[in-house]
Amino acid sequence: MILVKKFVYFITGGLIIAGMHNFLSQVILEREPDLWRIYSFLLPLSILFFLFYIWVYHKRPQYVGYAYMFSGLIKMAASVLFLYFIIINPEHPRKYLLIQYMVAYFGILFVEALLLVKALTNENVSQEESDSFF
């Protein structure tokens, strides 16, 4: 149940990061950002993997860490493929989009890891407290 609550926080946090990133990109860099492509790729992928963590937790909770590492590997491979199409297109500002992608990727990764660790820590603490009464 805690992971489902953190899932809602993750979606909210991802949308807040996207909004702040878009706003700061417009104000500081004074250019029209093309961030919708980046976030339309990263957010659904991250949401899908967060649902995967919830599923793994309900089936085999001891393997959530491995699920996180596996999803990180898949996300990195998908990111390389996504960035490849940006790099080969000469019409896009490559350096700008690569930097913006890394900012978005690590921002979402930070929120994902933070919420997952907090959820699992709270779950372990509540399990230990319930075990100590018996």
Q: How far is CA 2 from the centre of its chain?
A: 18
Total number of domains in the chain: 1
State the pLDDT confidence band at 2, using cuts at 50, 70 and 90.
Answer: low
pLDDT tens sequence across 45-73: 988 998 898 899 889 888 988 999 999 99
The C-alpha angle 95, 97, 99, rounded to 5 degrees, equals 70
* Alpha-carbon distances of 78 from 2, 27, 126, rounded to whole Å: 28, 30, 36
Does some domain include residue 132? no
Q: Domain range holding 75? A: 2-121
Which residue do the tokens 């019409």 mark? 91
Q: Name the H helices within the chain.
A: 2-28, 35-59, 64-88, 94-132
Residue 52 lies in a domain: yes
78 inside domain:
yes
Q: Is residue 94 part of a domain?
A: yes
In a domain? residue 33:
yes
Per the domain annotation, does 129 fall within a domain? no
The CA-atom distances, in angstroms, between 98 and each of 25, 31, 40, 88 are 14, 15, 15, 12
pLDDT at 71: 93
Is 128 part of a structural domain of the chain?
Answer: no
**Residue in this structure with the two tokens 């700008």, named with its chain if needed:** 96
**Using one digit for the tens of pLDDT, what is the confidence trace for 4-47?**
777 788 888 888 888 888 887 777 777 666 778 888 898 899 88
Q: Is pTM, for the whole model, over 0.95? A: no
Inside any domain, residue 127: no
